[in-house]
Amino acid sequence: MRFMILIKADKNSEAGVMPDEKLMTEMGKFNEELVKAGVMLAGEGLHPSSKGARVRFSGTQRTVIDGPFSETKELIAGFWLWEVKSKQEAIEWVKRCPNPMGGESEIEIRQVFEAADFGAAMTPELVQQEEHLRAVLESKRR
């Protein structure tokens, strides 16, 4: 099972305040543990929303909204993509994580859909297309 681990932003991350050396070292050690355990597939920090944009869809219309975005508690400061056996295993890993913001912090855990989760809508042709795209992506990472 794959899970997206979402590190929620706070006022400091949105202000562009970078983590100190101590936190960077602790996170580096934690990431090493994740990699050694075969759990971590990807992980990155994100720039503040002031450097981002959103595209709002309304039928065929597209509206671009430049950051920053006002609801800091709903924003993401970083993420991991993990492969684990269960949600409980993901929870146990998150509980071992250094506190990403020092003070009050929140990390959200969301399961990633797999092809089988879409049922009959995921035709054999669509499965084949997805498998092909994943193979192309994997070959480009090497």
Q: What is the pLDDT of residues 112-122, one digit of tens each?
A: 998 889 999 99
- Please report, for the chain, the start and end positions of each structural domain, with discontinuous segments joined by +: 2-111, 114-142
Q: What is the pLDDT of residues 13-24, one digit of tens each?
A: 999 999 999 999
Assigned token pair, 93:
């890993």
pLDDT score recorded for residue 73: 73
Q: Higher pLDDT residue, 134 or 6?
A: 6
What region, left, alpha or beta, does residue 89 occupy, with left being phi > 0 and alpha being psi -120 to 50 degrees?
alpha
What's the pLDDT band for 9 if we cut at 50, 70, 90? very high
Confidence check: pLDDT of 74 > 90: no
CATH number listed for the domain at residues 2-111: 3.30.70.1060
Burial of 94 (0-12, 13-18, 19+ CB in 10 A): middle
For the entire predicted model, the pTM comes to 0.87
- DSSP-assigned beta bridge partners for residue 79: 6, 44
Q: What does the longest C-alpha to C-alpha distance in the chain come to?
A: 50
